[in-house]
Amino acid sequence: MAQPPRHGGIAAGTIYNEASRQLVLSFKHGGRIAMAPMLARLIAGKLHYADESWTLVPVPLHRWRLWGRGYNQAALLATELAKVTGARLEVQGLRRDKKTPPLAGLGRNARARALAGAISVSPQMAPRIAGKKIILVDDVLTSGATSDSCVRALQAAGASEVNIACFARVLDDVRVAEEFPNWRLENETPET
């Protein structure tokens, strides 16, 4: 509550656990880009409001990472989401202006420092973002540092609303439950 999110909400296809982790690693680092339609359909199931009045914008990769990997997994997801939802697609809506270190293993503050000034909307794209309702697309939402940097850039360019869509979302309660199997969520029912 002390630091409310800048975005309007998060739609995640699933939580980040061992099963979703394996899917993400195969998709993101294993070159299994044919998984994009399936992963996008899982996200789309949580985007009941998405239609032609929304614009999909993927989280950008720096050009060196894009060249090394060969594809932007968020752009692949956004492309498939556009097919399923009818939302507009702006693959170049955001750009990563500076190379950032891999964020895996970094805490929230270290991620935020690494991303400071790294993401922006180019002057050519600003008119295509201004006044639009945006759905920011990524594969995994971890600490929120990357999405927060993207949301800031989109809002600075005049986006009227920004929501986040991802395949998997890391939740602190889930991590605690996995590390301490006898711990139970307060709203957990015996059937689950």
How high does pLDDT run on average in the chain? Answer: 86
Is 185 a residue whose pLDDT tops 60?
Answer: no
What's the pTM?
Answer: 0.84
CATH fold of the domain at 10-179: Rossmann fold (3.40.50)
Q: What is the pLDDT confidence band of residue 84, given thresholds at 50, 70 and 90?
A: very high
Per-residue burial over 47-70, b if 16 or more Cβ lie within 10 Å, else e, is beebeeebbbbbbbbbeeeeeeee
